[in-house]
Structure 1
């Protein structure tokens, strides 16, 4: 099952992508059903659980009413999570290409993004010169939580997953990377990671049953058509299950929460010696000649999910 949100009368609306069409349960012929509240938002649908999934599957199979052509709709972020729990430095090759902190690669680097950071496919990543001169992009597999839990065991963690999507962990590198006395590196992950448009998300959420093993997915980034990142989720240091366990020691994980899982090598940071970058040549990858600028087109792709595309645009100074 592939969940989307699309724009309808200036509001996001839940839909289900089937090939090149979107099924809209609230526009179906029998839409005055008691369970309509299940389809009021993605969060409602996730929280409703198996009964909601069974109902929509039955409606799609019936094939009557409520269908829209994908080409005629504007997709939005498929969910706007209140909390995005983030794990940095989770790919071995990425850790080799950057200035690391004393704990990089020893434990997940824990930071948070909020709903204020989220934009959808096709929306603009804002290049705000007052915030950063070193805007970087990172393709990441995102876990969407489906069942609540605290102190979740690793061997039960994937039972709490609703599905997976893509997040571009947009980063202000010159805000993130700091150097202390003696050259020690530390990260200001709050200012470097959480700001307007720093979490493009989408284009769909694919339910866990269609993904299978989340540790065997190809992941890549293209900027203006150049292949900058190409790897596999097999290269993660901590698996999706281990990250769910890790974050559940601090938070009760709730339906609709999102966990992002780190990025592979190939960031613009790797080619920035001023911030400790150490480019590691890899077949097929094009080293970044600079950080992102207005006009750049960023394509984040993950196997079985699709491609999340956003363009970088100059800030108007008036907010998003």
Structure 2
């Protein structure tokens, strides 16, 4: 099942993506009991409904009420979820670590930083290019884990039981705010470099966990103005999705609707920036970045079984 959010009558609505159509449960009220309707107000309400809301959604999909359907090409998608917290893991692909100068902990433990809902935009919304913040704007395609059931100190063995589904997140980064160097020493400022307006595009949908039983076998790609910049597979993660759920649950009680992003593979614009320690390593089929992102660029972040998240830079 694929969950989306979209605009109708100047409000964001929850929808179920059915190929080229969206089923809006709120328009199928006559088919729902009053106790079922509450789960379809937004994505987080649906996630909190657990198995009950999922079974209700499947019943609506089977009925496919015509009056509740919208053509996909006639609606504007929003971010499929507005998470209260985005827990972020950096330096989680060895190939990405190899193409950049590292901090003392790179590849030895997950980098831990946070983004909030204020950073989130949806498909086709513009990533802001703000020269007062950065002149080295970069993008990173990452798998996002959407938490479904709460837990603290979750074991790795039980971690995937807490997953509602998966989405695509673009970890937009201000490299000249992130990377700091003094002599031979490099450190990262992951606050100003990572969390700012439009720094977390999410979408186009959430694919539920039953459709992705193994999140470590997904192709992951980035295209910039049609050029293939990143191409890898989630099997190349240093720490798996289960590892990261365990890791973050040590600090936080993970709650329904929280999102964990899992790092990016090689091919970022940073890799071509020698000033900040970039070390581009040619890979078959990939085009090296000639520069950082500028207004007019189009970035497409794609993950197998989820879809393509497309955003312009303005």
What TM bracket, shorter-length normalisation?
Answer: over 0.9
Write the deviation string for residues 37-86 of structure 1: whole angstroms up to 9, x where unpaired. 11011000000111111111111101223111111100000001010000
Q: CA deviation at 1:33?
A: 2.9
Aligned equivalent of 1:211: 212
SS in 1 for 2:280: coil
Aligned equivalent of 2:258: 257
Q: CA deviation at 1:183?
A: 2.1
**1:57-136 equivalences in 2 (<5 Å):** 57-64=58-65, 65-136=67-138
User: Residues of 2 paired with 1:75 and 1:278: CA distance?
Assistant: 37
Q: CA deviation at 1:27?
A: 0.5
**Does the 8 Å contact 2:175/2:270 carry over to 1?**
yes
User: Residues of 2 paired with 1:244 and 1:279: CA distance?
Assistant: 31
User: Residues of 2 paired with 1:145 and 1:132: CA distance?
Assistant: 32
Aligned equivalent of 1:267: 268
**Does the 8 Å contact 2:29/2:37 carry over to 1?**
no
After TM superposition, the runs of 4+ consecutive aligned structure 1 residues lying more than 3 A away are none
User: Residues of 2 paired with 1:105 and 1:217: CA distance?
Assistant: 21
Q: CA deviation at 1:31?
A: 5.5
**Does the 8 Å contact 2:168/2:203 carry over to 1?**
yes
SS in 2 for 1:215: helix
Write the deviation string for residues 272-306 of structure 1: whole angstroms up to 9, x where unpaired. 00000000110000000000000000000000001
User: Residues of 1 paired with 2:31 and 2:184: CA distance?
Assistant: 63
Aligned equivalent of 2:52: 51
User: Residues of 2 paired with 1:312 and 1:227: CA distance?
Assistant: 17
2:169 to 164, 167, 170: 167
- Number of equivalences: 312
Aligned equivalent of 1:316: none
**Does the 8 Å contact 1:144/1:163 carry over to 2?**
yes
**Does the 8 Å contact 2:5/2:12 carry over to 1?**
yes
> Where does structure 2 lack aligned partners over 5 or more consecutive residues?
none
Task: Decide whether aligned partners of structure 1 residues 224 and 209 sit closer, same or farther in structure 2, where only a CA change above 3 A counts.
Answer: same
Aligned equivalent of 2:311: 310
**1:157-306 equivalences in 2 (<5 Å):** 157-180=159-182, 182-306=183-307
RMSD value, Cα: 0.8
Q: CA deviation at 1:29?
A: 5.5
SS in 2 for 1:126: coil
**Does the 8 Å contact 1:142/1:164 carry over to 2?**
yes
Q: CA deviation at 1:256?
A: 0.2
User: Residues of 1 paired with 2:311 and 2:287: CA distance?
Assistant: 19
SS in 2 for 1:75: strand
User: Residues of 1 paired with 2:260 and 2:8: CA distance?
Assistant: 28
Write the deviation string for residues 231-276 of structure 1: whole angstroms up to 9, x where unpaired. 0001000000000000000000000000000000000000000000
Q: CA deviation at 1:99?
A: 1.2
**1:119-158 equivalences in 2 (<5 Å):** 119-158=121-160
**Does the 8 Å contact 1:29/1:66 carry over to 2?**
no
User: Residues of 2 paired with 1:251 and 1:169: CA distance?
Assistant: 21
